[in-house]
């Protein structure tokens, strides 16, 4: 039997079947989705097979059983292969720069679909009205309901994420587009919407609130990508030849066998967890690996999503939100554009995956409750290398020397309550901040509004968060504790937790004039004034730990608690003080 060709590029389902190319059968997932809801939404990273999935569904509703005879839905199911008119929309309009241009593009797509199905539209109506005309006209012409498939539904928003006003205007346009589908749902047999992010989903929900989100539904976890089992079956005839080539290149040792090759593939490319029984591997990387026969970084090299690049470039990612390590479910599924957290963006973009489902403690109405949440990690070695080497580097310009220093020396300094060593490491991080980042902080400090000046403190929080994460620490950020939210809770082995509160002192004038002496005035020593301001900030940080009982919930859980107050002034001044968690109820800290 001849080896099947690899379907790289952007082939349609029809071409893959006609050319007898390699295909992972996802028709059982499609069958279950059609039974689950008339309207579904799926979020997956780029190059993960969403477009091929849509083309498969489109072909399925053409009613040609011959294309599916060797697949699950044709060979093992009771699916009837009813023929339905299919309306397809791709929202990745590349050239619009205004809301009106987006509306024009949508109207053009509606006219194109109308022409395809021989339906006349009233061009004087709004795009919502034209959608109504299209659905009603197609239904009357064919005598059955339509199927609606929307690819890259969020592109109008994510492509303009750095222009908040335009992004919001685009989101409003999409809301009305999906509302038109909801209003005319009687003419729709099935609607399926796919994209990368959830940024526009709030308006899908409000505009068409009967869409079932299957993105984190365990039943559909493997609907895109390759599972381990699929790789074992689909690439069975390629393992031996690939093994020999990798051994010849020195990428595997001379004595390696197929099991070693499979283990190495999993080390490099395994994988994504969407809460199903099996992890899923990126299909683009797997196909490229077997084509190139080289263990390399393939998917990350295809380019960063435009929305992620824009958010990093414009510093709009909110690193002050709960960290990459732990995130509440309500934050992961957040759809609003405001306060965009780094974890959901990286997760939906494919740079993070769920590690575990957990319960996260938080206080609600003075009661400790446990809410659903996730721990995250990078999905594979190829992504991990890119994430740490490129994305964090772009945003914070982190220096590996100082990250390594934190990883090696911070645990001992915390356990020994060595404030001088902590100050040294944090100071080294501060002085390594790039000129561009320093200018950002300087701009914040010049603002008159105290709330806007507080962004400078958030910046230093974010630097510390990202550095600790890059150093491999397990942390919670702004997790509910006591009567407030400590900036960082860092977990060490043996159930030791470190509560860290950081206070930033804005740089003010340190030269003051007072009466006295023959001249009638004298200048206060600048260094003493700076030290006094730094000490005052440290006192505030300590007071917050004490007054808000940040250590209380962890002590109640019988954990050893270390409380650390930190203060920063300007770019180079750092102070730290450890508190005695056992005597936190009003005694003086050390």
Contact present, 86 and 80 (Cβ < 8 Å): no
In order of 29, 33, 440, 566, the CA distances from 221 in angstroms are 9, 12, 41, 43
Bridge partner list, 523:
513
Q: Which pLDDT does position 531 carry in this prediction?
A: 85
How many residues in the chain? 590
Q: Which pLDDT does position 381 carry in this prediction?
A: 83
Q: Which pLDDT does position 431 carry in this prediction?
A: 83
Place of tokens 């990250």: 403
Q: Which pLDDT does position 121 carry in this prediction?
A: 95
Strands 188-195 and 39-43: parallel
Contact present, 385 and 297 (Cβ < 8 Å): yes
Q: How many CB atoms lie within 10 A of CB 356?
A: 11
Contact present, 200 and 169 (Cβ < 8 Å): no
What whole-number distance in Å separates Cα of residue 272 and Cα of residue 564? 36
Which parts of the chain sit beneath pLDDT 50? 203, 207-208, 318-323, 509-522, 583, 586-590
Contact present, 324 and 352 (Cβ < 8 Å): yes
472 torsion bin: left (phi>0), alpha (psi -120 to 50), beta (else): left
Contact present, 32 and 54 (Cβ < 8 Å): no
Contact present, 24 and 229 (Cβ < 8 Å): no
What whole-number distance in Å separates Cα of residue 295 and Cα of residue 297? 7
Which one, of 222, 380, 207, 415, lies nearest residue 299 by Cα?
380
Sign of the CA dihedral running 86, 90, 96, 97: positive
Which residue segments constitute the domains of the chain, with CATH numbers given?
13-220 (3.40.50), 226-298 (no CATH), 317-395 (no CATH), 397-590 (no CATH)
Q: Which structure tokens are listed for 211? A: 């869409």
Contact present, 564 and 498 (Cβ < 8 Å): yes
| 136-182 confidence digits (pLDDT tens) | 999 999 999 999 999 999 888 888 877 888 988 988 888 888 888 88
């Amino acid at each position: 039997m001849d080896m099947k060709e690899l379907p790289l590029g952007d082939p349609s389902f029809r071409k893959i079947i006609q050319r007898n190319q390699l295909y992972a059968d996802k028709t059982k997932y499609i069958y279950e989705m059609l039974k689950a809801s008339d309207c579904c939404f799926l979020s997956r990273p780029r190059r993960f097979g969403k477009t091929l999935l849509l083309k498969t569904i489109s072909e399925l509703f053409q009613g040609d059983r011959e294309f599916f005879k060797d697949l699950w839905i044709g060979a093992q199911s009771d699916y009837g292969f009813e023929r339905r008119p299919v309306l397809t929309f791709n929202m990745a309009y590349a050239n619009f720069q205004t809301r009106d241009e987006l509306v024009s593009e949508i109207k053009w797509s509606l006219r194109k679909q109308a022409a395809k199905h021989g339906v006349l539209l009233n061009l004087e109506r709004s795009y919502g009205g034209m959608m109504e005309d299209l659905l009603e006209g197609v239904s009357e012409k064919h005598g059955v309901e339509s199927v609606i498939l929307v690819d890259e539904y969020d592109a109008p928003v994510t492509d303009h994420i750095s222009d908040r006003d335009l992004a919001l205007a685009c989101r409003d346009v999409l809301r009305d587009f999906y509302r038109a589908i909801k209003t005319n749902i009687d003419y729709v047999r099935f609607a399926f919407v796919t994209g990368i992010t959830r940024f526009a989903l709030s308006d899908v929900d409000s505009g068409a609130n009967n869409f079932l989100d299957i993105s984190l539904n365990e039943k559909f976890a493997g609907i895109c990508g390759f599972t381990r089992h699929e790789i074992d079956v689909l690439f069975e005839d390629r393992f031996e030849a690939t093994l020999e080539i990798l051994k010849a290149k020195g990428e595997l040792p001379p004595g390696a066998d197929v099991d070693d090759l499979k283990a190495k593939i999993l080390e490099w490319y395994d994988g994504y967890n969407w809460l199903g029984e099996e992890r899923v591997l990126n299909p683009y990387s797997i196909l490229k690996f077997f084509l190139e026969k080289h263990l390399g970084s393939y998917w990350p090299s295809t380019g960063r999503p435009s929305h992620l690049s824009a958010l990093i470039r414009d510093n709009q990612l909110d690193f002050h939100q709960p960290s990459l390590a732990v995130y509440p479910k309500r934050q992961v599924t957040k759809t609003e554009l405001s306060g965009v957290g780094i974890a959901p963006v990286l997760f939906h973009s494919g740079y993070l995956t769920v590690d575990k489902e957990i319960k996260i403690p938080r206080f609600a109405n003075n009661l400790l409750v446990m809410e659903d949440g996730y721990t995250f990690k990078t999905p594979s070695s190829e992504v991990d290398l890119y994430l740490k080497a490129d994305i964090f580097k772009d945003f914070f310009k982190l220096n590996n020397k100082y990250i390594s220093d934190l990883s090696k020396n911070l645990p001992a300094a915390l356990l020994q309550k060595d404030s001088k060593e902590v100050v040294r490491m944090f100071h080294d991080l501060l002085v390594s901040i790039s000129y561009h980042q320093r200018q950002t902080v300087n701009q914040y400090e010049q603002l008159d509004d105290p709330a806007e000046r507080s962004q400078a403190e958030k910046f230093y929080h974010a630097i510390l968060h990202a550095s600790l994460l890059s150093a491999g620490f397990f942390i919670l950020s702004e997790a509910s504790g006591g009567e407030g939210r400590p900036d960082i809770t860092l977990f060490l082995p043996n159930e030791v937790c470190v509560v860290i509160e950081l206070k930033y002192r804005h740089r003010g004038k340190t030269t003051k004039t007072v009466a006295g002496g023959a001249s009638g005035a004298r200048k206060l020593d600048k260094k003493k004034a700076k030290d006094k301001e730094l000490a005052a900030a440290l006192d505030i940080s300590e007071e917050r730990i004490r007054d808000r009982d940040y250590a209380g919930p962890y002590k109640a859980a019988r954990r050893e608690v270390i409380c650390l107050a930190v203060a920063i002034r300007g770019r180079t001044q750092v102070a730290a003080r450890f508190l005695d968690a056992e005597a936190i109820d009003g005694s003086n800290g050390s």
